[in-house]
Copies of this chain bind each other. A is one copy, B any other.
């Protein structure tokens, strides 16, 4: 019995929750660890990771508590173990299957992105209402008519839905997903969708990111030239 199991026995109900900023940083650490592995490096430390990613070393340490690994003072952690522990924590080693609705530009891009497999996600099919797209294959993934979604999702036990549709249709199609047994929705429409409790929703909003970038630009300009916006 390993250490993790012992801790789990001792505290069966106490499950530490990690903040969203922490969760968002874990893939960055993992990416760096993979780089180290490719370079043949076998151990690393929080200060080293922090230096490479331009983060605070103590923050890195706090974040890595989620792995429940024990490091060696002065040495750090095994790169291999650490990468594996992050994958394990994020559930990247048991792949989940997903359906996508909306085979437009963005939908097609996601269908063609090979990296998702590494993150435990496999988009196995897409759905659309456009007769020109139905029956075709985009980036190796077959496009089905939207009306087949509920039946196929139920039959295949799909739990993750990806929404890449115009915002006007987002709420309606999210509802369809939930009625079809989907319990987690990754929403790329520039509109919030509201869902019943128990349904996980992750909003991806390019307008939000662009707003942050715009303001960063303004900030740099005003600092540089020394006057208000």
Interface centre among A26, A109, A199 (most CB of B within 10 A): A109
Q: Per-residue 0/1 for A140-173: is the Cβ within 8 Å of any B Cβ (1 yes, 0 no)?
A: 0000000000000000000110000001000000
In the complex, A181 has a CB within 8 A of chain B: no
Q: Of B8, B91, B105, B160, which is within 8 A of A218 by CB?
A: B91
Determine the chain B residues whose CB is within 8 A of the CB of A192 once the complex forms: 28, 53-54
A215 and B184 alpha carbons, distance in the complex (Å): 11
In the complex, A40 has a CB within 8 A of chain B: no
A60 and B199 alpha carbons, distance in the complex (Å): 24
Q: Which of A187-219 contact B (CB under 8 A)?
A: 190-192, 194, 198-202, 204-219
In the complex, A73 has a CB within 8 A of chain B: no
Q: Which DSSP category, helix, strand, loop or mixed, fits chain A's interface? A: helix
In the complex, A115 has a CB within 8 A of chain B: yes
Q: Please give the distance in Å from A6's CB to the nearest CB on chain B.
A: 13
In the complex, A23 has a CB within 8 A of chain B: yes
A26 and B211 alpha carbons, distance in the complex (Å): 8
Which residue on chain B has the smallest CB distance to residue A138? B105
Contact between A215 and B18, CB atoms less than 8 A apart: yes
In the complex, A222 has a CB within 8 A of chain B: yes
Interface centre among A13, A105, A224 (most CB of B within 10 A): A105
A192 and B31 alpha carbons, distance in the complex (Å): 9
Q: Please give the distance in Å from A102's CB to the nearest CB on chain B.
A: 12
Q: Please give the distance in Å from A133's CB to the nearest CB on chain B.
A: 14
In the complex, A229 has a CB within 8 A of chain B: yes
Contact between B186 and A209, CB atoms less than 8 A apart: yes
Knowing A112-B105, A115-B207, A208-B24 touch, does A220 contact B202 (C-beta < 8 A)? no
- Can you list 5 A-B contacts with CB-CB less than 8 angstroms, sorted by A residue number? A31-B207, A91-B217, A120-B214, A204-B206, A204-B209
